[in-house]
Amino acid sequence: MKKHGILNREIASILARLGHTDTIIIADCGLPIPEETRCIDVSLNLGTPDLLTVLRAVTGDMKIERATLAEEIQTNNPTVHQQVSDCLADIPKHYTTHENLKKHSKDSKVIIRTGEATPFSNVLLQSGVIFS
């Protein structure tokens, strides 16, 4: 049994297989998921687990080079936006439209679907490298 890190075997497996510039999305329960994109659904109830809980777990195991959020989160969900920004304090953040973020979901290795139930609570994480 693993001693540290993410215990969810599907998430741990995906993170172990990521290469430089590969992306994953941690999503709220409303983000549409393309048929061709793998989904790991960790939602239990509306709001559980929330986006931040899953994001914190993933950031502990993943080297993140860049994060992308929907522009709309800044005005439509400032509380979650601030929490995500704090969690990703040392990671460059970029913004795009929600529609554009949904288009990128087709290219992501996985979407981790949470129980988050607040608007525009989705973050695309781009994998970095652990050496320089």
Does the pTM surpass 0.75? The reply is yes
User: How would you list the strands of the sheet with 93-96, edge to edge?
Assistant: 39-41, 110-113, 23-27, 123-127, 64-70, 93-96
Query: What are the sequence ranges of the domains in the chain?
Result: 9-127
Q: 40 - beta bridge partners?
A: 112
- Tell me the pLDDT tens digit for each residue of 47-83: 999 999 999 999 999 999 999 999 999 999 999 999 9
Distance (Å, whole) CA 2 – CA 93 = 31
Which residue ranges are tagged as binding site for substrate? Answer: 28, 98, 120-122
Indicate which residues carry an active-site annotation: 20
Which residue ranges are tagged as binding site? Answer: 28, 98, 120-122
- Tell me the pLDDT tens digit for each residue of 27-38: 999 999 999 999
- Tell me the pLDDT tens digit for each residue of 90-131: 999 999 999 999 999 999 999 999 999 999 999 999 999 999
Write down the CATH superfamily of domain 9-127: RbsD-like domain (3.40.1650.10)
Among residues 28, 21, 9, 32, the alpha carbon closest in space to that of 115 is found at 28
> Is the per-residue pLDDT at 42 higher than 90?
yes
> Residue 41 belongs to what H/E stretch?
strand 39-41
Q: Is residue 3 very low, low, confident or very high in pLDDT (cuts 50, 70, 90)?
A: confident
Average pLDDT over residues 36-44: 97
Q: Which pLDDT score is estimated for 94?
A: 98
Q: Is the peptide bond before 119 cis (omega within 30 degrees of 0)?
A: no
